[in-house]
């Protein structure tokens, strides 16, 4: 299965996301921000980094990249899309997901190994996990504090769209410890933590992150 990984100017974890796709058994395909062609991929990852230097607002410029127009169209038709960190910010700016990511409450960039609870194990990107599974995945962000209007938050909670929640301490002040959410259909998922950095015991705190990538491969097969 071909999974596209978009490179924007300033993307950093693009090659890491490609490696994770490969280790999960998929075929990574590099997608370029300026190119509308999705090259026949069956899922897309928007990787972490600082697209366009985070100028204006994180993700605010990337959202207008030609490749995003194709991704927004196809996401509406069910294409699985995973946004990680800066990718999550781009998904919010694109209105594929509600809410916004703001400066961490303590105003510092923070990199740590983070305990997470998978609250929705039925999205395209989390099917491989047991419900309520606790996993360890790195977080590393300066603007990862998720906010949304109270009504929106209640709706997300009510519809089971909080996909992942911080456990054992909230690293950035996100409301209701939200670490990741999905759209109504469950094909678009935004995650602040970095599963692509938890795919090998040698370089990560765990291999728990692999589940996000195997999920979409399994979903595609079935």
Partner 1 sequence: MIDSVERAEGTPEQPQPYHELGLKPEEYQRIRDILGRRPTSSELAMYSVMWSEHCSYKSSKVHLRQFSELPHSDALLVGMGENAGVVDIGSGYAVTFKIESHNHPSYVEPYQGAATGIGGIVRDILTMGARPVAVMDPLRFGPADAPDTQRVLPGVVAGIGGYGNCLGLPNIGGEVVFDDGYLGNPLVNALCVGVMRHQDIRLAKASGPGNLVVLFGARTGGDGIGGVSVLASETFAAGGPARRPSVQVGDPFTEKVLIECCLEIFAADLVVGIQDLGGAGLSCATTELSSAGSGGMHVVLDRVPLRDQTLAPEEILMSESQERMCAVVRPSDVDGFMEICARWDVTATVIGEVNDSGRLTIDWRAERIVDVAPRTVAHDGPVYQRPRARPSDLDNLLADDPGRLPRPSTPEELRSLLLRMIASPNLCDKTWVTEQYDRYVQGNTVLAQPEDAGVLRIDEHTGLGVAVATDGNGRFTRLDPYAGAQLALAEAYRNVATTGARPLAVTNCLNFGSPEDPAVMWQFAEAVRGLADGCRTLGLPVTGGNVSFYNQTGAAAINPTPVIGVLGVIADVGRRTPMALGSVPDEVVLLLGETRPDFGGSEWAWSEHHHLGGRPPTVDLERERALAGILIAASEQGLLSAAHDLSDGGLAQVLVECCLRGDVGAHVELTGDPFEALFAESAGRVLVALPRERVPRLADICRAHAVPVTQIGAVQFDPVLTVAGQFDVPLAELRAAFTGTLPALFGTPQHRE
Q: Annotated active-site positions, please?
A: 85, 194, 196
For the segment 121-180, give every residue that binds partner 1 (CB under 8 A).
138, 140, 142, 169-170, 173-174, 177
CA 149/CA 98 separation, integer angstroms = 9
Binding segment for partner 1 (CB under 8 A), chosen from 51-59, 88-96, 117-125, 180-188, is 51-59
Q: 123 or 170: whose CB is closer to partner 1? A: 170
Q: Note the residue count of the chain.
A: 222
Of the residues 2, 9, 122, 157, which one makes contact with partner 1 according to CB under 8 A: 9
CA 196/CA 20 separation, integer angstroms = 5
- Asked if residues 219 and 124 have their Cβ atoms less than 8 Å apart, the reply is yes
Q: 2 or 110: whose CB is closer to partner 1? A: 110
- Asked if residues 27 and 39 have their Cβ atoms less than 8 Å apart, the reply is no
CA 210/CA 157 separation, integer angstroms = 25
Cβ burial, residue 22 (10 Å; 0-12/13-18/19+):
middle
CA 175/CA 184 separation, integer angstroms = 20
b/e string for 104-142 if b means 16 or more Cβ within 10 A?
Answer: beeeeeeeeebbbbbbbbebbbbbbbeeebebbbbbbbb
CA 10/CA 152 separation, integer angstroms = 31
Binding segment for partner 1 (CB under 8 A), chosen from 92-100, 109-117, 182-190, 214-222, is 109-117
Binding segment for partner 1 (CB under 8 A), chosen from 95-103, 150-158, 183-191, 194-202, is 194-202
196 binds partner 1 (CB under 8 A): yes
Of the residues 204, 211, 216, 219, which one makes contact with partner 1 according to CB under 8 A: 204
64 binds partner 1 (CB under 8 A): no
Q: 46 or 219: whose CB is closer to partner 1? A: 46
Of the residues 10, 27, 74, 218, which one makes contact with partner 1 according to CB under 8 A: 10
Of the residues 19, 63, 161, 165, which one makes contact with partner 1 according to CB under 8 A: 19
Neighbouring CB atoms inside 10 A of 47's CB total: 27
52 binds partner 1 (CB under 8 A): yes
Interface contacts to partner 1, rule CB under 8 A: 9-10, 12-13, 15-16, 19, 48-50, 52-55, 104-106, 108-112, 138, 140, 142, 169-170, 173-174, 177, 194, 196-197, 199-200, 202-204
């Amino acid at each position: 299965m071909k999974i596209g990984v978009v490179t924007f100017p300033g993307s950093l974890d693009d090659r890491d996301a490609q490696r994770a796709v490969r280790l999960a058994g998929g075929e990574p395909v590099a997608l370029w921000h300026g190119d509308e062609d999705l090259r026949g991929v069956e899922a897309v990852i928007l990787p972490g980094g600082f697209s366009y230097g985070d100028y204006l607002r994180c993700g605010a410029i990337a959202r207008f990249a030609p490749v995003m127009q194709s991704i927004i169209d196809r996401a509406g038709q069910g294409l699985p899309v995973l946004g990680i960190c800066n990718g999550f910010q781009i998904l919010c700016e694109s209105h594929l997901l509600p809410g916004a990511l703001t400066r961490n409450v303590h105003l510092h960039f923070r990199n740590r190994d983070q305990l997470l609870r998978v609250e929705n194990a039925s999205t395209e990107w989390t099917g491989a996990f047991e419900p309520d599974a606790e996993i360890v995945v790195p977080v590393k962000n300066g603007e990862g504090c998720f906010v949304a209007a109270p009504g929106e938050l209640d709706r997300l909670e009510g519809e089971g769209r909080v996909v992942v929640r911080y456990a054992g301490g909230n690293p950035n002040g996100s409301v209701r410890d939200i670490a990741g959410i999905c759209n109504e259909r469950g094909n678009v998922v935004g995650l602040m933590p970095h599963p692509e950095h938890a795919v090998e015991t040698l370089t990560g705190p765990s291999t728990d992150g692999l589940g996000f990538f195997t999920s979409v491969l399994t979903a595609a097969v079935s």
